[in-house]
Amino acid sequence: MNFHLEHHIAELLYRSIRGKLSDFEREELNQWRSDSPMHEAFFMRLQDDGYIGEELGIFIKGEEKNSVLWERIRENSILRKRKRFIRFSRWGAAAVLLLVICVSLFIKKGEQEVVPVAIQTILPGSHKATLLMENGEEIELSDSVRMSIEQGIIASNNQLEYGDLVKELASGYYHVLKIPRGGEYRLKLSDGTIVYLNSDSELRYPVNFSATSREVELRGEAFFEVVTDPQRPFVVNAEQVRVRVLGTSFNVNTYDKNYIETVLVKGRVGLQMEGNTQEWQIKPNELARYDRKNKTMEVKEVDILPYVTWKEGHFLFKNQSLEKIMDIMARWYDVSVEFQDESIRNLHFTGDIKRHANFSIILKALTSSVNVNYKLNGRELILYMK
C-alpha cells in the first residue's frame, strides 16, 4: 500500500471514528474493510478506546518528536469509553498522520503473520427454512426461490405468506416454520404482521387468526413488526414468558439457557411470567430480561442496536464476551466451538461485523483484536491463547 492510499484510508478511518462519513465514503471504507482480514481486524481494533489510547502510542514510542506530538494530541482529545467515541479538537491532521503510521505498520505486520491453519470455505447463513404443514408434510424453502406450495401459499423473495383463499380453507389449522442453524427467513402472518426469524428458531402460528385473538409460539429469536389491531392483542408465547402487544416492533430472544430477553423498538408491550398474573410494561429502548432460574424480571434502558441489527445484516457487539459472540457465530455459520482455555470465554470485543462476511474475515478480526489463536477442523473451531 503506497503512502497516498494509506493517507486516504487513514482519513476515512478518522472520519469514521468521528461519525462524519458520507454515504460514499462509508461505502469506500466498507470495501477496503472487506478486501482483507487484516483491514477488518485493524478497523475492529480502532473501535476500542483502549487501543486508541494505548496501542497508537506504542507505535511511536522511542521517537521523541512523535512522542511529544502524541502527548499533545492526547491532551487535546476527548475519550468517551462508554459511547466508544473519540473526538480530536485541534489536532485532526496529526491524528490522521498517526493513523497513516498505524495502517502501514499493522497491515505489514499482519501480512507477515502466518494463519495457524488454512481456512476451509465456510459460508455464512442464508435464507432457508422448513414449513411443517398441519398434515405432517414438510416443505423445504430455499434462498430466493419462488414457489407455490399449495393454493395461495407462496414463498417468494425469502418470505412465506398466505393468500385469502387458503386462509379461509385452513381456518383453525396451525403451521410451524423452522429455521435451521445457518439460516434465516421471513414470514407474513394472516393479519399482515411480519416476523423475521433468526437461525435455529421456530414459530408455531395459526394459518388464519381468529376474530378475537392473535397468538403465536416462539423458540429461538425473532423480530416482530406487528400490525395494529386494538380489538385483537398480539401475543407471543416465548417459553416461560408471554409478550402482549397491540401494534409495535420488538425482538424476542430465548436462545440463552439462563434468560429470555425482549427489546422494544417502538410502541409498548406488556410481559407476564409463567404462572404470574403481574404484567411488566416496557417502553421503547428498554430491555426486559427474564431470569429462568430465579423467575424474576428485570427492566432497564439499553442501546437496542446490538439486539436488533442482525435482521439488517450486521452483528453489532459492544463490549460483548467472546463466549456470547461465539454462540452467535456458531448458529449463523453452523460450526461448533471449543475453548481450550476457559479464560478466553471472558475476553470482550467491540465491533460491527457484516453478517454475510467470509468466515475467515470474522475469525481474523476477532482473534487479532482479543489476542487469541484458532484452529479450524472441518466445522469445529478451536480457540486458544497466543
Does the predicted TM-score (pTM) go above 0.75? no
Structural domain count of the chain:
4
CATH number for the domain including 330? Answer: 3.55.50.30
Report whether 233 contacts 278 (CB < 8 A): no
- Asked whether residue 348 falls in the same domain as residue 276, the answer is no
Q: Does 198 reside within a domain?
A: no
Q: What is the DSSP string of 243-307?
A: EEESS-EEEEE--SSSEEEEEEEES-EEEEETT---EEEE-TTEEEEEETTTTEEEEEE---HHH
d(C-alpha 215, C-alpha 223), whole Å: 15
pLDDT for res 133? 87
Report whether 15 contacts 21 (CB < 8 A): yes
Residue after which a domain boundary falls, among 85, 112, 139 = 112
* Residues contacting 223, CB < 8 A, separation 6+: 195, 196, 198, 249, 250, 251, 308, 310, 311
- Asked whether residue 281 falls in the same domain as residue 355, the answer is no
Q: Hunting for cell 426486559 — which residue is that?
A: 288
Which residue range is the domain that position 148 belongs to?
Answer: 123-190
- Asked whether residue 98 falls in the same domain as residue 157, the answer is no
Q: Does 334 reside within a domain?
A: yes
Which residue type, as a one-letter code, is found at position 107?
I
Between 39-48, 71-80, 132-141, 177-186, the lowest mean confidence (pLDDT) is in 71-80
Q: Does 195 reside within a domain?
A: no
pLDDT for res 378? 84
Between 8-12, 34-38, 64-68, 192-196, the lowest mean confidence (pLDDT) is in 64-68
103-121 confidence digits (pLDDT tens)? 655 555 554 444 443 445 6
pLDDT of 326 > 90? The answer is: yes
- Asked whether residue 100 falls in the same domain as residue 29, the answer is yes
pLDDT for res 196? 98
- Asked whether residue 285 falls in the same domain as residue 370, the answer is no
Q: Does 118 reside within a domain?
A: no
pLDDT for res 183? 94
CATH number for the domain including 266? Answer: 2.60.120.1440
Q: What is the mean pLDDT of residues 68-78?
A: 45
Q: Looking at per-residue confidence, does 56 or 158 come out higher?
A: 158
Q: Does 204 reside within a domain?
A: no
- Asked whether residue 91 falls in the same domain as residue 49, the answer is yes
Share of the chain above pLDDT 70, in %: 72
- Asked whether residue 228 falls in the same domain as residue 261, the answer is yes
Between 144-158, 207-221, 241-255, the lowest mean confidence (pLDDT) is in 144-158
